[in-house]
Amino acid sequence: MVGLVVGVLVSVFQTMTSIQEPTMSFVPKIVAVLFAIIMFGPFMMANLMELAIGLLRDLPYYVIPMDY
């Protein structure tokens, strides 16, 4: 989402100023995505760990043998 927003803003800026430099659209997106990973990475990792631990803890409830 961050990369999309930054990409649109850079594209609008390039259109307004008629600057068509390829690195000008690439570098800000990479920086913004890296910044977002640094800021939101711990939150996403905590949620992923909680989900994985819950899935592994409740695995026997998901794999119940069926009686035929």
CA–CA distance, 44 with 47 (Å, rounded to integer): 5
36 falls within a domain: yes
Is residue 1's pLDDT more than 80? yes
In the chain, the number of structural domains is 1
* pTM assigned to the model: 0.66
Model confidence over 24-66: pLDDT tens digits? 888 889 999 999 999 999 999 999 999 999 999 988 888 876 6
Is residue 68's pLDDT more than 60? no
68 falls within a domain: no
DSSP 8-state secondary structure symbol assigned to residue 63: S
31 falls within a domain: yes
- 7: containing domain: 2-62
Cα dihedral: 15, 17, 21, 24 (round 10): -90
Structure tokens at 21: 């430099």
Q: Are 24 and 14 in contact (CB under 8 A)?
A: yes
